[in-house]
Amino acid sequence: MIRVPPRRGGWLEVVCGPMFSGKSEEMIRRLRRAEIAGQRVLLFKPRIDDRYDLADVVSHAGVRMSAVAVDGCAELVARARGCDVVGIDEAQFFESSIVDAALALADGGLRVIAAGLDQDFRRLPFGPMPELLARAELVDKLQAVCHRCGGPATTTQRLVDGRPAPYDGETIVVGALDSYEARCRDCHSAGQDSAAWMAA
Ligand code: ADP
Ligand code: MG
Ligand code: ZN
| 118-131 mean pLDDT | 97
Ligand closest to 184 (CA) is: 3
Q: Are 143 and 154 in contact (CB under 8 A)?
A: yes
What domain range includes position 88? 11-142
Is residue 1 a part of any domain in this protein? no
Is residue 98 a part of any domain in this protein? yes
| Average pLDDT over all residues of the chain | 91
Is residue 83 a part of any domain in this protein? yes
Chain-centre distance of CA 74, in angstroms?
19
Q: Domains in the chain: how many in total? A: 1
Is residue 182 a part of any domain in this protein? no
Q: Which of 7, 12, 1 is nearest to 108 (CA)?
A: 12
CA distance 121 to 87: 24
Q: Which one of 13, 25, 90, 181 is the catalytic residue?
A: 90
CA distance 91 to 26: 14
Percent of the chain topping pLDDT 70: 90
**pTM of the entire predicted model:** 0.92
Q: What is the pLDDT of residue 193?
A: 47
Ligand closest to 180 (CA) is: 1
Is residue 153 a part of any domain in this protein? no
Bridge partners (DSSP) of residue 119 are: 125
Maximal C-alpha separation, the chain: 55
Q: Are 22 and 108 in contact (CB under 8 A)?
A: no
CATH code (residue 17)? 3.40.50.300
